[in-house]
Amino acid sequence: MRNLLERLEKNVLVADGAMGTALYSNGLESCHEYNNISNPDSVEKIHKAYIEAGADIIQTNTYAAKKCQLKTYGYEDKFEEINIRAAEIARKAAGENTFVFGTIGAIRGLRECELSLETIVNETLDQVKVLLSTNKIDALLFETYYDQEEIRAVLTEARKLTDLPIITNISLLEAGITQNGEKVTDALSTLVNLGADIVGLNCHLGPYHMIKSLKQVPLFAQSYLSAYPNASLLQLTQTINGNEYRFRKNSAYFEQSAKLLVEEGVRLIGGCCGTTPEHIRAIKKGIKDLKPVKRKIITPLPAEEELVRVANNKPTIVDKVKKQVTIIAELDPPKHLNVDKFIEGAKAIDKKNIEAITLADNSLASTRICNLAAATLLKEHISTPTLLHLTCRDHNLIGLQSRLMGFDILGINNVLALTGDPSKLGDFPGATSVYDMTSLKLIPFIKQLNEGLGYNGASLKKTTNFTVAAAYNPNVRDLSKTKRLVEKKIKAGTDYFITQPIFEAEKIEQLAEFAADYPDTPFFVGIMPITSYNNAVFLHNEVPGIKLSEEFLAKLEEVKDDKELCQKIALEESKKLLDIALKHFKGIYLITPFFRYDLTLELIDYVEENKDK
């Protein structure tokens, strides 16, 4: 009985539906997999409900049962027990007449994952080994893989561990293409070549878009096709407890969809998020008396407009700074709606020999005029390009892409990718920090736009030409401890670094030695003039990443009541730092404090006068 591939050779088989949906609706443990220990009878009852509905296959309740995933709930020490109990419960429910798949979900998903690929593979293989050791499963199911690198690496290693059938289901954000813009046919074909016995799609898409995606997929000689669609798109529903997002109850629709999936060559049909035993019953009814198709007509997705590749014939900031001293100056948008001084400062800086004016994105989590609006305003008054900061704190994935598309159509090609200071540090400590990703993911995301692909892999019909900067904080005790992060950012696609302001000569010397290891990635040294003794004390004690020398603070304290003298000492200190920076670096980043653009102008002139010494 328990030979899956022999059954699929002549039959269309029905798998189960969502386990998480059932557990959630029954109000069970928020860590679904821990229910294998705490509520085994409930898990078994769900399995049996799917079998009674007509499922030929059930899957173990182990989607997120790796150590790194269980650690979120404090159950990592229960890793083996959770997986073993899951296999035992599923086999008990299945008996000998129903197949059991050992289920393994992806680690990388739509949100950022800090784990290395090697760690991900090892975590996954640990779970594979435990599930295989039970001798209770008939196949391994790898599901909900958005990241093709992850599933390919995992499949390659898992294939070495077992001869059991392996099913690999990838997930798409857009019909017909993966998140990195690869056609679904090519993605599935690669998995076939790596040894998957069944390949297909699950999650995110409902039946309509899953069928549309599979129309372009051929029948593979070595592997069968599978499909596990979601119940529907989520819809907002009013309940006694308020508004909730729920899936539609549309089991009759699933009956018709199952027939269409069979027409596209699918031999294994189940359900993903939102599906219930009613959906599985409908699928069973829909495929009744249907046999697998032996041939199909491939229907490619409609041809998209040819991608317009926009050539950037002008030298970039990186091109220039590799050859000559290059200055960029920061002028933050105001915290209020009076923009007169902001425009006045920008006009004054525009007359100088600088490469870009940078505009912060609510720096220090303090609300300012939107920097995209500020940049648009400045275009009416100056010719100097703007360099916009972009934080992950204030924008979700949708907002990040939307904002970057806005940058592009306005001709803004310079971006500083930032994670962003947490909201609790700023003016509105109760505000939510989004952090769908950090700068380490934002950087390659921006570079993907340069290939004409959105985050979901869909064509933008035109490439962008972003040059991407990353932030670097040299104000730490040991710069060697930052080496790993710098190299990660370079690998992610960073074109150059912009440092936090430096107030110590020794730090610039240390930075020069550190940066020598990265000759192809320029560093712009941040210099910010101090405006007063109180300003210095605040920066030194309260602003993350900024450290002033005790000697400099003492000098300012001696003359703190003489504003003019205090300012003179502070500017002289900035000029000393610039002298050292110019010995080692061609990139200078001048930060304007409190709209004191007169200080920035003086420092720009100083750099121009001393850059060739």
**What pLDDT score does 310 carry?**
82
Residues near 355 by beta carbon (within 8 Å), at least 6 away in sequence? 317, 320, 321, 326, 327, 328, 384, 385
> Helix H segments across 200-335?
207-214, 251-263, 277-287, 317-321
**Residue reference for tokens 């040059």:** 467
DSSP 202: E
For the entire predicted model, the pTM comes to: 0.78
Name the pairing type of β-strands 266-269 and 523-527. Answer: unpaired
Pick the CATH number of 323-610 from 3.20.20.220, 3.10.180.10, 3.40.50.970, 3.40.50.300: 3.20.20.220
Q: Where are the domains of the chain?
A: 4-287, 323-610
- Sheet containing 266-269, strands listed edge to edge, beginning at the edge strand earlier in sequence: 13-14, 266-269, 224-228, 198-202, 166-170, 139-145, 99-105, 57-59
What are the tens digits of pLDDT across the range 224-248? 999 999 987 655 444 445 545 456 6
Q: How far apart are CA 290 and CA 169, in angstroms?
A: 23
**What pLDDT score does 426 carry?**
86
In this structure, are residues 446 and 468 in contact, taking their beta carbons and an 8 Å threshold?
Answer: yes
The H or E element containing residue 243 is strand 242-246
**What pLDDT score does 457 carry?**
87
**What pLDDT score does 236 carry?**
44
Class level of CATH domain 4-287: alpha beta
Give the residues of the chain that fall short of pLDDT 50.
Answer: 1, 236-240, 243, 245
**What pLDDT score does 239 carry?**
47
Termini Cα distance of the chain: 84
**What pLDDT score does 244 carry?**
52
Grouping H, G, I as helix, E, B as strand and the rest as coil, residue 453 is strand
Domain 4-287 and domain 323-610 have a common topology: yes
What are the tens digits of pLDDT across the range 153-212? 999 999 999 999 999 999 998 899 998 889 999 999 999 999 999 999 999 999 999 999
What are the tens digits of pLDDT across the range 487-504? 999 999 999 999 999 999
